Structure 1
C-alpha cells in the first residue's frame, strides 16, 4: 500500500472525457525541445525556416506508426487471435527502434524529393534526436515501466540518485533498476559530445554515424538489464541484435567513406 501511495499519478489532467497522461506530455515536451535546438542549427546551415516543420509533419505520425508496427511484429503472439487489437495503441506497446527506422526512412524520402542531402540533414538533427530520447525516457519513469530487474534500496541509494526517483522505483513493494535513468544519462552525455563535435567539423555523415553508434552501444548494454524486452528468438533480445547490427554497419560505413571513398565534404559545408 505504501508503494502505491508514493507512486506518481501517470495522469496529468482530464479534459472532459479526454485523459492526458504524463507520458504523452513528456514525449511532446521532448519533441518540442529537440525541434527548437535543431531548428536553430538548420537555419544557421542555410535551410528555410519551415523546412524542419515540413519534415516533422510527416516524420512524427509515421514514427508513431512505425513504433507500433515494430512492437506488434515482435509481440505478434499477443495479437494473433485478435488482430484488431494491434490498432489499439492507446493500450500501450510501442518501440523506439521502430520509430527511428520510420523517421529515418521518412527523412530519406523527404530529402530526396527536396533534392537535399540526407546526411547533411541527419548530421544537423542528430543531437536533437538524442535530446528527444533523453527527455522521453522520463515518460517510462512516470509509468513505472521499462525498468530493470529487482535490486535493493541500498543499491539505489549507492547510486546517489534523488529519493523521489528511488520511491518511484518501488513497484509493488520491490525496487528495480532505473534503466530509464541509465539510458537518459547516456543519451544526455551523447548530446554534449555531439554538440562539441560540431566544432571539430567532421566529414558529412559522421555526426549521424556517431549518433547511431553511441545510442546503440548504450542501448545494447542497458537492454540486458530490462525485464520487458522484445525477443527475436529464445533469449535473443531484439533491441540488442538491432543495436549490434547498427554499430557494425555504422563503423563499416565510417571506415569506407573516410579511408576508401575519401569523402572531402565537411559537416559545415
Structure 2
C-alpha cells in the first residue's frame, strides 16, 4: 500500500491520482482504437477524454462533498486538498455530460459516442480501483476471515475504529476494529469484475447492434457489479439493508435493461437491417454548430 508516491515542494503526488490518470489514458487508447475502426478521426478520442476527465473529476468531487457535507463544512480545505473523496457516480454523470458536449460540437451521434466509451469506462474503472487499493481511501469492505482478506495499516483515511466498520443486526455501521483485523479487499474485487465487463463489451463491439446498445449493456453489467460488491463494502444501508450505491445500481440495471428490450423490439420491427455506413459513421468534418 503506497498512499503517497512523493512530494514536489508543497505538491503531494498520490497513488490514487496516478492510477486515475492511467485510467484516463487507457480509456483514451480504447476509444482511439474504436475511432480508427469506425473511420473517425482518432483525435476525437482525446477531445472526449479531456472533456470527460475535467467534468468527471468535478462531478465526482461535487457528489462526494454533497454526500458528506457536514465533514467538508467542518474542514473546508478538504474540498480541495485531499487525496480521497471522489465518488464514481458523480464522475460518471460529469463525464457523460462532457462527452455529450463534445459529440454535439463534432456532430457525432451521441449514442455512437457512448458505444465507443462503454468499454473505455469499464477499463478506466478497473484501473481506478487499483488506485483505491494502493491509497487505502476507505473503499475496502467489512471485516473478514477469508484467506485473501487484508489490512490497510497505511490507509490515507486512517486504519482505526472510525474507518474499520461492520454492520450490526439493524444494518447500522459500528466499529469493527481490533488488533489484527482484516477486511474484504473490495477494490480488488471491483478491479477483477470491471475487467470482466470490459472484456464482454470489447468482444461485442464488432457485432451488429443498434446504436447505443453497448452502453445499455454497460449500465446492466456495471450496475450488477456494483450491486454485488456493495454487500461487502463499508457503506451505510439506507433502504431495507441496501446502500445508496446499490439503489443507484438497481436504477442503472433497470434503465439499461429497459433500453435493451426497447432497442431489440425496434430492431426486430425494422427487420434487423444494419444501418448504412453514412448513418453509423458520421463524418468528422461535418459543419460545426
Give TM-score, length-normalised by structure 2: 0.78
Judged with a 3 Å threshold, the aligned counterparts in structure 2 of structure 1 residues 9 and 81 are, in CA distance, closer, same or farther, namely closer
**Counterpart of 1:87?**
79
**Counterpart of 2:26?**
33
**Counterpart of 1:3?**
none
**1:202–1:267 Cα contact (<8 Å) kept:** no
**Counterpart of 1:254?**
260
Deviation by residue 1:54-90 (Cα, 9 ceiling, x = unmatched): 22222211111100111122212324556x4573352
Pick the aligned partner of 1:136 from 124, 128, 152. 128
Give me the whole-angstrom Cα distance separating, in 2, the residues matched to 1:184 and 1:72: 25
**1:220–1:240 Cα contact (<8 Å) kept:** yes
**1:12–1:21 Cα contact (<8 Å) kept:** yes
**2:237–2:244 Cα contact (<8 Å) kept:** yes
**2:223–2:250 Cα contact (<8 Å) kept:** yes
Judged with a 3 Å threshold, the aligned counterparts in structure 2 of structure 1 residues 86 and 256 are, in CA distance, closer, same or farther, namely farther
C-alpha deviation, 1:112, in angstroms: 2.3
Pick the aligned partner of 2:212 from 205, 208, 226. 205
Give me the whole-angstrom Cα distance separating, in 1, the residues matched to 2:247 and 2:153: 27
Structure 2 residue 23 is the aligned partner of structure 1 residue 17: no
RMSD between superposed Cα atoms in Å: 2.6
Judged with a 3 Å threshold, the aligned counterparts in structure 2 of structure 1 residues 267 and 21 are, in CA distance, closer, same or farther, namely farther
Structure 2 unaligned regions, length at least 5: 160-178, 281-289
Secondary structure at 1:12 match in 2 = strand
Give me the whole-angstrom Cα distance separating, in 1, the residues matched to 2:190 and 2:140: 11
C-alpha deviation, 1:109, in angstroms: 2.6
Q: Which has the higher helix share?
A: 1
**1:33–1:132 Cα contact (<8 Å) kept:** yes
Give me the whole-angstrom Cα distance separating, in 1, the residues matched to 2:108 and 2:46: 15
Give TM-score, length-normalised by structure 1: 0.83
**Which of 171-180 and 24-33 deviates more?**
171-180
Number of residue pairs aligned between Structure 1 and Structure 2: 251
After TM superposition, the runs of 4+ consecutive aligned structure 1 residues lying more than 6 A away are none
C-alpha deviation, 1:257, in angstroms: 2.0
Structure 1 unaligned regions, length at least 5: 1-7, 158-164
Secondary structure at 1:194 match in 2 = helix
Give me the whole-angstrom Cα distance separating, in 1, the residues matched to 2:237 and 2:274: 40
C-alpha deviation, 1:13, in angstroms: 1.8
**Counterpart of 1:215?**
222
